[in-house]
Amino acid sequence: MFSTLHSSGLTGIFLKQSTTLRGLASKTNKLKRKKHNSILTRGMYRYWEPTYNRMELSQPQDAKKAPNQFRLVSYNILAQDLLVEHLQLYQGIHSKLLHWEHRLEKLKSELEILQPDILCLQEMQYNHLKSFVQELSHKRKVEYIFKKKTGRRTDGCAIIYDRNKFKLDDDQCVEYYTNDVATLNRENVAIMAKFQVRNDPSTEFIVATTHLLYNPRREDVRISQVGVLLRALASFAIRSKHSRLPTILAGDFNFTPDTDAYKCLVTQRKFNEYLFQMESIDFGSDAVSTFQDEWVTVDYILKSIAEDKEKSITIESTYKLPTAESCMNIGKIPNTFLGSDHFSLAISFSIR
């Protein structure tokens, strides 16, 4: 069983391995979204791209504007403890660029530009969580849920959200670790949250985030973790005997689109008489999200495929990821401009 605590119970609570915490950090100022927001760094320009442009279709003149559009960002922010443990991976990067204080400032600057309504984080180090949330909450009211990895690891997954826009109806954690199962003996975790839109209480949806095992030689573990995650997500999304809630899944999956693990992630499955399938959101051809011996994509945002009469997630725009070619000009990350060794993924979406 997982215990749920408010942020006032932060001190020492992470000594418990099976703790989920929900925190609140707030200030009174409102955050006004900039009309144009993009990130320009050395050799890389990222911008919002409407999905209808990518499909080479003109937007219908009479298209009904969605009453609510929201932004979601998924980001592996690189836990400082993991950076120190694997310092050899960051050879050639000036040491001051690897300090948490520098990286936090760059992460904060990027997120101020993106202005997410929901932020899914991987490698969120627990003793940095409170200060990280405070950095984000100085102009808006946010709440968060967090799950530390099983065992002695100090990082985990978090979902931070604008409490003026969403009410958290329910949340659950997924711990992949299972005794006596060779392919489920790792400490990775996931979080699932059920939200209600405050100005439209009839609209509910699910957001989940995870960070799967990195070890390149253990795809069997990642396949097993995907199976556990999808079963849990399909069950959590059930609204009634005849419908499921629209679902967004985001995270660092540590596999590329040409792997069996990826195929498992996007293949239709049947759970408890319900068909369930996730589809990956397109961030453009040749898009990459991190460097693992070469520039690759291992981070994804996915949405559920709706059955008839179910509400669905509509992707209004995506935040363009760099290509492998453009990354040749960026150099290693983190750097002077970027605070992590992954790029952020971001979408604007509505629920119809």
Task: Using pLDDT thresholds of 50, 70 and 90, give the confidence band for residue 35.
Answer: very low
Domain 38-53+65-351 falls in which CATH fold?
A: Deoxyribonuclease I; Chain A (3.60.10)
pLDDT of 2 over the 80 cut: no
CA distances in angstroms from 198 to 51, 169, 205, 310, listed in the order given: 26, 11, 12, 20
Q: What pLDDT does residue 63 have?
A: 43
Angle at CA of residue 101, ends 207 and 149, nearest 5°: 40
Q: Which two tokens stand for residue 7?
A: 């942020």
* pLDDT (tens digit per residue) in 89-145: 999 999 999 999 999 999 999 999 999 999 999 999 999 999 999 988 777 899 999
* pLDDT (tens digit per residue) in 196-216: 999 999 999 999 999 999 999
**3-class secondary-structure state, position 224:** helix
d(C-alpha 136, C-alpha 164), whole Å: 14
Contact present, 49 and 317 (Cβ < 8 Å): yes
Task: Using pLDDT thresholds of 50, 70 and 90, give the confidence band for residue 184.
Answer: very high
Q: Which of 58-67, 308-317, 319-328 has the lowest mean pLDDT?
A: 58-67
Q: Select the more confidently predicted residue: 137 or 348.
A: 348
